[in-house]
Every structure is written in structure tokens, then in C-alpha cells.
Structure 1
Amino acid sequence: MLALRPVVLSDLPQLQHLVRGRLLGVTSLVDDQHYLREKILDSQASFAKPQASQGPENYFLVLEDPASGQLHGCSDILATAGFASPFYSLRNRPFISSSRELDIEHAVPTLSLCQDLSEQTLLRSYHIDPALAGTPLAQLTSRARLLLIAAHPERFADSCISEIVGYSDASGHSPFWAAVGQHFFDLPYVEAERLCALQGRGFLAELMPQYPLYIPMLAQTAQDCIGRIHPEAREACDILVDEGFAPTQYVDLFDAGPTLQARTQELRSIIQSRVASSYLCTQSGQGRPWLLSNERLQGFRAIVALLDEAPGDVVGLDAAMLQALQLAPGEAVRGIAL
């Protein structure tokens, strides 16, 4: 039974191997030992922080097979985008021009560099082994983050965002980057993405144009990328849309992938999940799948479990489920049906 848990430093070798298979464009994951080590240490400090307040914390989770110790996926939560370093996006909205003499008003779509999405909670770093795509474990790796937020709402913002990877081809070529970013950075898309992961987005303000980019003046191939989702990112997007996220007018700086947004307290796994008291009970293994988590912070655990009966005030779990959640009978469990 696989479980989602906070990352620890001993995960570093496996984590580095895992992220080598990530989708290009997931800039919060990069195959660099120093970067991943710092990300792990930052996450451990965040989980250990005693003050229940929203700040720059990063809560990094890994999907583990406890029997083998093998890692199969990961995801994280940045409590406050833009807290420690600027969080830049491109805002897609029309520029209105008009002439009273000719009685003409015309709207031209533009892209403008902005920090509008700062101070919101950012869901990022989603990656799962390809063999597990389309399974309940993919939902566990993404949605369990919301159960953690539901259990500790004071640590997160009232609004959540997530950047979905935009289109690039099999060779790593991004038509949008080629038409826009490469003119200002003189770097291939792959290198620019890596630089952003290692150094943050602060350098963008120094090199990106400060004036709006008129979309009709871009090559058609670049225009077609605005808001376009990479085929391999479709499942990650669909899971969040099912939760209540919706596309916005904002797109990613590098590949123009869409940014999703939602009010935190309107997300399905937050408003529909229920807390019950656990008790030891044999399960047939033929029941309905549920997403379950404990209510802890440092000892957070989440699993997918087949339950014969829907939880009410109490929920029956077998010994393997209790062990995976690191619970004793009588302790609280949060759950939502898949």
C-alpha cells in the first residue's frame, strides 16, 4: 500500500532519480543534487515550524511504497507564492484603443509581465511514475495536498493557484519561448527552464520587456501555444479542474501554459472531506476507493483505501490501513470518496 508522506533527507538519491523523468516545464523540480537537498531541508523546516501562520513555507510530499522504500511520485505546496522571491506571470488581456472622430473602438490582446498572483498558495512539483498515471494513486499524489490544507488552513492562503505545463515538442522545443523569451535571454527553452528552477524568477524582471506584447504580432505557432496544455500534463490539469480550479487570464512566462486558480474553501477535497474516528475493522478489498489522511502535520500520511462502508462519525480501517496512516484505533481520519 503506497502512502504520501513528507520528504526526508535520506530520500535524496531516489528523489533525484525520480525527477529525471519529470515533464519538461515543471520548473520546481530539477535534476540537481544541491537544489533538491535544499528543497528537502526547506520542507523539513516548514513541517517543523511551530507557528501556525502563512509564510514562505514549502511542504514537499513523496509517494512511497513502505514495503520497499521505493519512491513513485511527488508533489508540494508553496504556502505563499512571491513571499521569498518575485512570482512573475504573463497577464493575457486586451488593450483597448479608440477614436472618437472615426467612432472606432478596437481591442488588441496583449501579454504583460506582472506579479498579480503573489501571496496565493501554489500547488506545484507534481510528478508520478508513468505506470501509475490514470490510477487512483495519481489522484492521491495531487489531491492529498488539499487534505493537508484542510487540516491546517491557517498555514495557507484563501486562494490557490497551479501552473500547468504548456506545450513543447518531443525535442524540448517550445514555439512560444522561441517567439518571445529567446529574444531576450538568448537561451534554449531547456536551459531557461533550468535556470529558473535553480535561481528563481527574479532575473526575469531584468530581461523581459516591461511593455505589453501584442499577441497578433507573434508567429501563429506561438499564438497557438497561449493557454495550451502539454499532452502529458492533461491528467494533472483534469484532477485540479475536477477539484474546482478554473483557467485564468494568466499564463506561464516560459511556455504560456495556463494558470489555474480557485478559492481555497471552495475546493472539493476541502469542503467535502469529513473527519471521523477510526476503529479496527476487517475490509473485503472490494469496496469503494477513498482518499484518506491523518490530521497531523509533521507525521502527515495519506493513502487510497477500499472501504466496504462509507465513513460517518466513525470509519473502519484494517490493520494495513492504520499502519500506512501511522494511526492507532480511535485517532482521527479525514476522508473523501474518489
Structure 2
Amino acid sequence: MSYRIRAARPDDLRAFYDLAKLTGGGFTNLPAERATLEDKLARSEAGFSRPGENPGDDLYVFMLEHVETGAIRGTCQVFGAVGTDRPFYSYLMSTLTQKSEELGRIFRNQTLTLTTDLEGSSEVGGLFLHPQERAGGLGMLLARSRYLFIKQHRPRFGDTVLAELRGVMDQAGHSPFWDALGGRFFGMTFPEADEFNATHGTQFIADLFPKTPIYMSMLPESARAVIGQPHPTGRAALKMLENEGFVWDSYIDIFDGGPTVTARTDRIKTVMEADWLRIAGTNGADGPMMMMAAGVMHDFVACYGHATKTDNGELLIEPKSMEMMGIGPGDRILAVSR
């Protein structure tokens, strides 16, 4: 394949913006706001350049590049640790059981409680693939490349990784969950609130959202029905996350009610199964397809390629993949079965 994942650069802004315009809204990490995306690329550049080996408020943006044409066909992001410079809010679904002796009945009420439980976690997000490229495993390449980057730079990430999935909304971009809850306190439509959040952060949530638990029975059925449900276009992404070991533990996004899933960093499937292997030479184009990653920070690159393990545990890789990654015999790379 002629595609590779590489670290984003400031001159990717135009392609980054073009991808954002295709999302249809609701992607907090990929808003169609040019100035915000420019800030993201600047923040990513700072993250890749930061010295030290500890978790921080870093953002790493990656691009899916067609090597032969230079066209950018997808993007994804990794956050070092959420909640380090501002609160990271989620709603936690829980059940409150109460008994009435007089009525002889037990009542179980589900509630939503504003929480910052997930602060300090790393986050994977912002994954978007051009609609014309949704075949051939490119979405999987984008998704799994993030875990290889995390493994390469493990001290920079927390012990838990989370992913927020976009919730259910109508064709106009309105969220029934937001309309039933957030809209009542902010006087904003969901698109307005989502754009404000992408540009200014979530401090306004702390300022205006109620701190007391919300009884779900007080919400309309249209809102209750979408709590914890991903947008139809996000079901494949949820499946990929579940295959990596992510689980939904009753946390939801405060804006659209979509599920927030989590996994222990060192138990993510790709993190566990990827091995550091030395390149012994080329193999033509034989062997099973593997996913490989090389380089650190700005020089990170990942791609698919045919590779064969030798009897002594080294790798023979097809020349095309070696060229795309800028590696050669004697180099060590991360490799995992596709």
C-alpha cells in the first residue's frame, strides 16, 4: 500500500481544514474552524518538541498520507493527559435505589452525575478518514498507529486511555441529549455549544452546569434513548476500540451523551502484541501483512507492509515499506500482525 501515517506539520493546515469540513459536525477534536485547527497544529508541534519523558498536556496530530501524491486522506490525534490544565468533565451514569415502607415498593432511579474521574488519562480521538478511502484497512491503520506511538513513548502517557465517541444527532447536527439538558442551561443550540467548546474549552460547563445529579427519568424519551449510544457513523470505530480492549463503564459525553470508553494502557491489544524487532534485510514482497512503526516524535511513521520473521527473530521487509519509513537493515522497529 502507498499510504503511511506521519506526524502532522504546520503546512498541513489546508488539508486538515478540508478534512474537518467533511465531518458533518459534532467532532469536538476536529472542528471546521481554521484558526482552531491552526492552533491544534501549533500545539502538536510543541508536543512533539517537548523534552522530557512524563505525561503532560500534549497533543499529537497525525496525518494519513498517500506517499506517491502527497495527498492527505485522513487524520487522528493522541492527547498525553487530559485535565492537566483545565477540568475534564464527563457524566457518570449510576443507579440510586430507594425503598418506601409505606408503599411497600423499591424504586431504582438512574442518575447522571458530573464528574472529573477520568482526569490524568490519555485520550485517542480526532480520527477521520476521507469518505472515498473507507476501504482497504486504512481506518484500522489510523487507529492502531496511535497505540504504536504510545508504546514507543510510553512514559509520556497515563495508565488509562479513553476515547469519546460522537453521540446521536439529527441531519441538521442537533443533539436530542443536549436539547433536553445542556440547552436548558446555556441557551445555545448544540452546534453553537460544540463550536464554543472546541474553541474555548469546557470551563463554561463548570460555571453553568448543575452540580447535583440529574434524574434520567426527568429527561424526555428522545434524550434517554440516545444516552451511551454512538452516532451511526461511529459504530465501526466503537467496534475497533472494543477489539483493542476498550470497555464502556457508564461514562458519557456531557454534550451529546455519546459513550466514553476506556482501557488500561498496557492492556490495549496492539500495545501488548507489538514487538521491537531488528530488520535483517528485504524479502521481495512476500510474507504476511504486518503493521510497522519507526522513528520517534516528529520522525514517527507507520504503514502496512509484507514482512517475514527469520528463525532468529529478525524481520525481512518488502523494499517499498522500508522506503516509506526511511529505514534499512540493522534498524529496530515496532511490528504487529495486521
TM-score norm. by structure 2 comes to: 0.95
Instruction: Using the TM superposition, give the Cα deviation of residue 308 of structure 1 relative to its aligned residue in structure 2, in angstroms.
Output: 5.4
Tell me the residue number matched to 1:247: 248
Instruction: Using the TM superposition, give the Cα deviation of residue 119 of structure 1 relative to its aligned residue in structure 2, in angstroms.
Output: 0.6
Tell me the residue number matched to 1:160: 161
Cα offsets for 1:305-335 (capped at 9, x unmatched): 1335589721111222112112122111111
Instruction: Using the TM superposition, give the Cα deviation of residue 11 of structure 1 relative to its aligned residue in structure 2, in angstroms.
Output: 0.6
> CA 1:330–1:229 in 2, change beyond 3 Å: closer, same or farther?
same
Tell me the residue number matched to 1:320: 320
Q: Is the 8 A contact 1:322 1:329 kept in 2?
A: no
Cα distance in 2, alignment partners of residues 13 and 295 from structure 1? 25
1:225-244 to 2 correspondences below 5 Å:
225-244=226-245
Cα distance in 2, alignment partners of residues 266 and 125 from structure 1? 22
Whether 1:219 aligns to 2:220 is yes
RMSD of aligned Cα (Å): 1.7
Tell me the residue number matched to 2:5: 4
Tell me the residue number matched to 2:197: 196
Instruction: Using the TM superposition, give the Cα deviation of residue 177 of structure 1 relative to its aligned residue in structure 2, in angstroms.
Output: 1.2
Cα distance in 1, alignment partners of residues 83 and 311 from structure 2? 39
Cα distance in 2, alignment partners of residues 248 and 312 from structure 1? 42
Cα offsets for 1:103-148 (capped at 9, x unmatched): 6543200111111111100111111111222431111101110001
Cα offsets for 1:243-300 (capped at 9, x unmatched): 0001111101111000100101111100111111113314336x43211101522210
Whether 1:258 aligns to 2:259 is yes
> CA 1:103–1:39 in 2, change beyond 3 Å: closer, same or farther?
same
Gaps of at least 5 residues in structure 1 are none
Tell me the residue number matched to 1:291: 291
Cα distance in 2, alignment partners of residues 135 and 54 from structure 1? 34
> CA 1:29–1:268 in 2, change beyond 3 Å: closer, same or farther?
same
The one-letter code matched in structure 1 to 2:172 is S
Cα distance in 1, alignment partners of residues 291 and 277 from structure 2? 13
Deviates more, 1:74-83 or 1:96-105: 96-105
Cα distance in 1, alignment partners of residues 49 and 141 from structure 2? 23
Q: Is the 8 A contact 1:91 1:113 kept in 2?
A: yes
Cα distance in 2, alignment partners of residues 53 and 227 from structure 1? 32
> CA 1:311–1:226 in 2, change beyond 3 Å: closer, same or farther?
farther
Cα distance in 2, alignment partners of residues 214 and 283 from structure 1? 62
Give the SS at the match of 2:47.
helix
Give the SS at the match of 1:298.
helix
Q: Count matched residues.
A: 337
Cα distance in 2, alignment partners of residues 203 and 240 from structure 1? 30
Cα distance in 2, alignment partners of residues 123 and 257 from structure 1? 15
Q: Is the 8 A contact 1:148 1:295 kept in 2?
A: no
Cα distance in 2, alignment partners of residues 289 and 22 from structure 1? 30
1:71-90 to 2 correspondences below 5 Å:
71-90=72-91
Cα distance in 1, alignment partners of residues 280 and 18 from structure 2? 38
Deviates more, 1:275-284 or 1:87-96: 275-284
Cα offsets for 1:213-246 (capped at 9, x unmatched): 1111111111000011111111111111100001
Gaps of at least 5 residues in structure 2 are none
Give the SS at the match of 2:299.
coil
The one-letter code matched in structure 1 to 2:18 is H
Cα distance in 1, alignment partners of residues 126 and 133 from structure 2? 16
Tell me the residue number matched to 1:91: 92
Cα distance in 1, alignment partners of residues 67 and 26 from structure 2? 29
Whether 1:36 aligns to 2:64 is no
Deviates more, 1:305-314 or 1:133-142: 305-314
> CA 1:291–1:135 in 2, change beyond 3 Å: closer, same or farther?
same
Give the SS at the match of 2:296.
coil
> CA 1:51–1:256 in 2, change beyond 3 Å: closer, same or farther?
same
> CA 1:312–1:58 in 2, change beyond 3 Å: closer, same or farther?
farther
Give the SS at the match of 1:256.
coil
Paired-residue identity, %: 28
Tell me the residue number matched to 2:272: 271
> CA 1:311–1:185 in 2, change beyond 3 Å: closer, same or farther?
farther
Q: Is the 8 A contact 1:283 1:307 kept in 2?
A: no
Tell me the residue number matched to 1:306: 306
Tell me the residue number matched to 1:169: 170
TM-score norm. by structure 1 comes to: 0.95
